[in-house]
Structure 1
Amino acid sequence: MTFQQAPVRNVDITSRFWSQMQRCSKEKTIPAIIKAQKSLQHWYCLTWKEGHEIQPHPFWDSDIYKIVEAACYFLMKNEDQQLMATVEEAVDMIRAAQHPDGYINSYYTVLGISKRWTNLRDMHELYCLGHLTEACVAYETLTNSGRLLEPVLKALRHVDEVFGSEPGKKRGYPGHQEIEIGLLRLYELSGEPVSLKLAKYFICERGRHDANGETYFDHEAKARGGDPYDHFGGEMKAWFAYPRDYSYNQADRPLIEATEVKGHAVRAMYYYIAATDLVRLTGDKDIKAALDRMWTDMTEKKLYITGGIGAMRQWEGFGAGYVLGDTEESGTCYAETCACFALILWCQRMLQLDLNVKYADVMEIGLYNGFLGAVGLDGGSFYYQNPLRTHTGHPKERSEWFEVACCPPNVAKLLASMGSLIYSFKQDVVAIHLYIESAFSVPGTDVVVSQTTNMPWSGDVHITVTGYTALALRIPTWADEYTSSVQGEVRDGYLYIPRSQNLDLTLSFMVKARKIYPNPALEKDEVCIMRGPLVYCIEDVDNDVDIDHVGLLDDVVSDGEPIDIAAVNGVIPIKATGRELVKGNNQLYASNPWKYGEKKSLLYVPYFLRANRGGNGGMTVWAKRLNGC
């Protein structure tokens, strides 16, 4: 029996740290997103008819659906009549936008319904429908009204009439994975067989080639009179120029034949999330073996210290192993917010299959670092990309909105639903993956598991259980030492506590500043600092040193006195010692081009807090490693 996610409704997060983040998202992020969409007219694109003067974007529908999903998660925990009215407004638009046969997509409704389903590779019809399906799951979980379930099932039955392996159907699959996730979530909610059937088809059909070595994307391009080598087929602005290599879409081969993670990082993560859910529901061993290969390749060769993924700017995705640059300008440090968001959800799914600390470790690193810093402390500004270094004089400010605005709604979605990341459960066992102050009421039982902690600043955790259950408690690999007031057995990084009644337990993890060194294959003679799950950086706003040219001495690093940064109270900074690297000459190559300046005291702050306090733009996670200087 696999683990189940903790329902959002059943988890109350009381952590001062995370409650503030959630409150800011509900009160500022969601309204900021809705305001931006309405001011730009995006919100109303579902109401437009053929020939409308404004041309919709192929992605806009998905933004509406993601906002609905995020809002529903917040509404599960907090009543808000105005927000609920916005959700119902969106549901009304969705219902009214549907064509008689079930089809729904504003782009082709406006620009010509005759062209629908002619460019799955680029035009995001199935992607948008996937986000609608996920919004449906959230909305029906909240309301149980059927108002969104009815049009969504009608839309999916239309898709089933068009696509599949049966004679007369198109053997297509989405260019951007997402519908597979929604289909499997809807199947678990409603039990509708068409959802499982379509999900399995889309996942397993992807990457198949005919006898001539061509994929469905080649065939559809020729059918519409396009060139398979011409990305977007002339229908959209081509932001990227890459050859006919369908690894970009993870469609170069079936998943069960794949040996490494390739292509667009968000698409890959969405694919693996759905495939992991399919394994949980069907027990497919070949897909599970493939997912294990993907995990190993990603975590051993293509994962940033922050939990970011997708180094290559040109295709927003994975490059060769160990190609992990620091700057956006290098083209090898993209680390899209949505990719980290999706990685966190893949970790969550893998934990349902296999309770192993390696998945929870990556989930935690991504959550606190690669994901959390993507939204400003004002709640209304966002990063699309998350480099590990920005240069002095070129501050990287967060944006209020983007032309392709996939990241802001995903930030809101995760913050609203993050209770489901903390716990999972199955018969007579509750697993704790993240130490975040909260309480979990186990569905169908009288068991309540609570934890009190000041993580991420302190490693002390007090756990209480009312009722009768066993526990599986994660032992983070960053904790060199830990103590537990109740003994148990450690398996795959989880401390298993036998079933007991009304348990009271104290855990204590050593949380201290530590230096982290890169694999030699990365060719970085540098060092960074972490404390618990937090990656730290140095910013020019705190340090009287040239951030672009600074090295870290092999001295002890230690905790500083707690400080408050905006609404985040009790931040623990890190004190270190370094030297400024002063240029000795202007030659391109020289025997000794650098001079070491005097010793400098350096102050490090958590990476997620970067670019919130002004400064001149200088920030770095990695610093040159200095020995005996």
Structure 2
Amino acid sequence: MAFQQVPVRNVDITSGFWSQMQKCSKEKTIPAIIKAQKSLQHWHCLTWKEGHEIQPHPFWDSDIYKIVEAACYFLMKNRDEELMATVEEAVNMIRAAQHPDGYINSYYTVLGIHKRWTNVRDMHELYCLGHLTEACVAYETLTNSGRLLEPVLKALRHVDSVFGSEPGKKRGYPGHQEIEIGLLRLYELCSEPVLLKLAKYFISERGYRDANGETYFDHEAKARGGDPYEHMGSEMKAWFQYPRDYSYNQSHCPLVDATEVKGHAVRAMYYFIAATDLVRLTGDNKIKAALDRMWTDMTEKKLYVTGGIGAMRQWEGFGAQYVLGDTEESGTCYAETCASFALILWCQRMLQLELDVKYADVMEIALYNGFLGAVGLDGGSFYYENPLRTYSGHQKQRSEWFEVACCPPNVAKLLASMGSLIYSTKNNVVAVHLYIESTFSVPDTDVVVSQTTNMPWTGDVQINVKGKTALALRIPTWAEGYTTSVEGEVQAGYLYIPESENLNVRLSFKVQPRRIYPNPALGKDELCVMRGPLVYCIEDVDNDVDIDHVGILDDFVSDGDPIDIASVRGVIPVRAKGREVVAGKSQLYASVPWDYGDEKGLLYVPYFLRANRGGNGGMTVWARRLSSFK
């Protein structure tokens, strides 16, 4: 039996750090997203009819569905009549937008319904339906009204009538994975067999080629009278991929045959999330073996220290092994916010299959670093990309909205539902994956597990249990040591404590600055600083040095005194020592090594707090390792 996700309703986050982030998201981020959608005329696209003067973007429906999902998670914990009215407004639009046979999509409703299902590679019909299905799960969990379940099941039965391996059906699958996740989530909610059948088909069919080596995407292009290369952007025509490369959307081969993670990072993560859920529901060992290969390739050769993934800007995805640049300008440090969001959810799913600290470690690092800094502390501005270095005078400010606005709603979704990341359950065991102050009421029992902690700033944790249960407590790999008041057995990085009643456990982890060095294959003699799960960076707003040309002495890092940065109180900075290049930096080549100026103190702050306090834009995670110049 696998570990089970816990309902959002059953977890109360009391952490001053995270509750502030959640409050900001509910009160500022979600209203900002809805305001942007309405002011830009996106919100009401579902009400438009054929021939409407404005043509919807193929993604717009999904933005509506994602914000409905995020709002429902918040409404599970906090009553808000105005927000609930907005949700019901969206549900009414969805119901009214549905065609008699179940089809829902504003783009083809306006463009012409006769063109539907002719380009599933590019036009996102199935992707949008996936987000509608996930919104349905959240809405029905909140209301149990059936108002969204009815049209969504009708829409998905229509999809099943169109796609499949049966005679007369299209042997297609989505160009952008997502519906697979929604199908399996809804299946677990209502147990409709067609949902599992359709999800299994989409996951297993991807990458199938006929005797001529052609994919479904080749066939559908020819069927609509087009060239298979039509509409292929540069992401599918890179010089080393020309003329086409279906690894962009992971359809170059079936998942069970894949040897490394390739292509668009968000698509890959959505694919793996659904495939992991399918393994849990069906026990497919071949898919599990493929997922293990993908995990190893990604985490050992293609993962940023921040938990960001997808180095290549050109196709928003994975590059060759060890190609992990620092800057957006280089084209090799994209690290899209949605990719970190999806990675976190894949880690959550892998933890359900196998309780192993490696999954929780990556989940935690991606959460605190690759994901969290994407939203400004104002709650209404966002980053799409998350580079590890920005140069003075060239920093891009967070944006209030994007033409392709997938990232802001995903930020709201995760912050609203993050209680489900902290714990999971199996039989009489409660697993604790993240040390975030909270209270968890175990479903269908009288057991309540709570933790008191000031993570991520300190490493002391108090676990209190009311009732009778066993515990599995994660021992983070970053903790160089730990103490516990109750002994247990450590397995795969989790401390297992036998079933006990009304138990109190004190854990203490060492949270102190540590130096992190890159794999030699990355080809750089640099280091960065981490403290607990947090990656730190140097910003020019704190330092009287040229951030673009600074090195760090790797024999000294220590905690600084707590400071407040905007709404985040009690931030622990890190102090280090370094030197600035003072000669030779303008020369491309020199006959003597560069000279460095006098030793100076450097102040590091958490990476997620970057670009919130002005400055000239200079920021870096990695700095030159000066001991190598001695």
Q: What's 1:578 paired with?
A: 578
Q: What's 1:458 paired with?
A: 458
**1:395 Cα deviation (Å)?**
2.1
Q: What's 1:16 paired with?
A: 16
Structure 1 length as normaliser, TM-score? 0.98
**1:244 Cα deviation (Å)?**
1.3
1:249-398 matches, cutoff 5 A: 249-398=249-398
1:65-76 matches, cutoff 5 A: 65-76=65-76
**Counterpart check, 1:113 vs 2:93:** no
Equivalent AA in structure 2 for residue 520 of structure 1 = P
1:63–1:409 contact (8 Å) kept in structure 2: yes
Q: What's 1:245 paired with?
A: 245
**Counterpart check, 1:190 vs 2:190:** yes
**1:139 Cα deviation (Å)?**
0.0
Equivalent AA in structure 2 for residue 26 of structure 1 = K
In structure 1, distance between residues paired with 2:328 and 2:33: 25
1:124-163 matches, cutoff 5 A: 124-163=124-163
In structure 2, distance between residues paired with 1:209 and 1:142: 42
In structure 2, distance between residues paired with 1:554 and 1:476: 24
In structure 1, distance between residues paired with 2:458 and 2:213: 56
Q: Report SS of the residue matched to 2:600.
A: strand
**1:394 Cα deviation (Å)?**
1.2
Q: What's 1:606 paired with?
A: 606
In structure 2, distance between residues paired with 1:400 and 1:131: 22
Moved over 6 A (4+): 237-240
1:472-511 matches, cutoff 5 A: 472-511=472-511
**Counterpart check, 1:421 vs 2:431:** no
Q: Report SS of the residue matched to 2:598.
A: strand
Q: What's 2:226 paired with?
A: 226
Q: What's 1:49 paired with?
A: 49
Q: Report SS of the residue matched to 1:495.
A: strand
Q: What's 1:179 paired with?
A: 179
2:236–2:248 contact (8 Å) kept in structure 1: no
2:237–2:244 contact (8 Å) kept in structure 1: no
Structure 2 length as normaliser, TM-score? 0.98
Equivalent AA in structure 1 for residue 401 of structure 2 = W
Q: What's 1:554 paired with?
A: 554
**1:591 Cα deviation (Å)?**
2.1
Q: Report SS of the residue matched to 1:121.
A: coil
- Could you give the per-residue CA deviations for residues 314-358 of structure 1, whole angstroms, max 9, x where no partner exists? 000000000000000000000000000000000000000000000
In structure 2, distance between residues paired with 1:189 and 1:254: 28
In structure 1, distance between residues paired with 2:260 and 2:591: 41
Equivalent AA in structure 2 for residue 98 of structure 1 = Q
In structure 1, distance between residues paired with 2:295 and 2:502: 38
**1:230 Cα deviation (Å)?**
2.5
Q: Report SS of the residue matched to 1:330.
A: coil
Equivalent AA in structure 1 for residue 432 of structure 2 = I
In structure 2, distance between residues paired with 1:587 and 1:9: 60
Q: What's 2:470 paired with?
A: 470
**1:586 Cα deviation (Å)?**
4.1
1:583–1:593 contact (8 Å) kept in structure 2: no
Equivalent AA in structure 1 for residue 511 of structure 2 = V
In structure 1, distance between residues paired with 2:229 and 2:205: 21
**1:241 Cα deviation (Å)?**
4.6
**1:588 Cα deviation (Å)?**
2.4
Equivalent AA in structure 1 for residue 410 of structure 2 = N
Q: What's 1:167 paired with?
A: 167
In structure 2, distance between residues paired with 1:239 and 1:23: 38
Q: Report SS of the residue matched to 1:439.
A: strand
Q: Report SS of the residue matched to 2:121.
A: helix
1:577–1:601 contact (8 Å) kept in structure 2: yes
Q: Report SS of the residue matched to 1:430.
A: strand
**1:194 Cα deviation (Å)?**
0.8
Q: What's 2:410 paired with?
A: 410
**Counterpart check, 1:64 vs 2:64:** yes
1:231–1:241 contact (8 Å) kept in structure 2: no
- Could you give the per-residue CA deviations for residues 375-422 of structure 1, whole angstroms, max 9, x where no partner exists? 000000000000000000112210000000000000000000000000
Equivalent AA in structure 2 for residue 548 of structure 1 = D
In structure 1, distance between residues paired with 2:237 and 2:132: 30
Q: Report SS of the residue matched to 2:439.
A: strand
1:485–1:507 contact (8 Å) kept in structure 2: yes
**1:554 Cα deviation (Å)?**
2.4
In structure 1, distance between residues paired with 2:497 and 2:603: 40
Equivalent AA in structure 2 for residue 505 of structure 1 = V
2:236–2:245 contact (8 Å) kept in structure 1: no
Q: Report SS of the residue matched to 1:360.
A: helix
Q: Report SS of the residue matched to 1:53.
A: coil
In structure 1, distance between residues paired with 2:598 and 2:102: 70
Uncovered stretches (5+) of structure 2, i.e. residues with no partner: none
In structure 2, distance between residues paired with 1:402 and 1:367: 22
2:515–2:554 contact (8 Å) kept in structure 1: no
**1:587 Cα deviation (Å)?**
3.6
Q: Report SS of the residue matched to 1:405.
A: coil
Q: Report SS of the residue matched to 1:497.
A: strand
In structure 2, distance between residues paired with 1:128 and 1:260: 27
Q: What's 1:204 paired with?
A: 204
1:240–1:314 contact (8 Å) kept in structure 2: no
- Could you give the per-residue CA deviations for residues 131-174 of structure 1, whole angstroms, max 9, x where no partner exists? 00000000000000000000000000000000000000000000
In structure 2, distance between residues paired with 1:227 and 1:519: 43
Q: Report SS of the residue matched to 2:487.
A: coil
1:8–1:417 contact (8 Å) kept in structure 2: yes
In structure 2, distance between residues paired with 1:490 and 1:603: 37
In structure 2, distance between residues paired with 1:194 and 1:395: 49
In structure 2, distance between residues paired with 1:239 and 1:150: 38
In structure 2, distance between residues paired with 1:594 and 1:19: 47
Q: Report SS of the residue matched to 1:156.
A: helix
**1:555 Cα deviation (Å)?**
2.3
**1:592 Cα deviation (Å)?**
2.5
**1:239 Cα deviation (Å)?**
7.7
1:130–1:179 contact (8 Å) kept in structure 2: yes
- Could you give the per-residue CA deviations for residues 354-379 of structure 1, whole angstroms, max 9, x where no partner exists? 00000000000000000000000000
Q: Report SS of the residue matched to 1:43.
A: coil
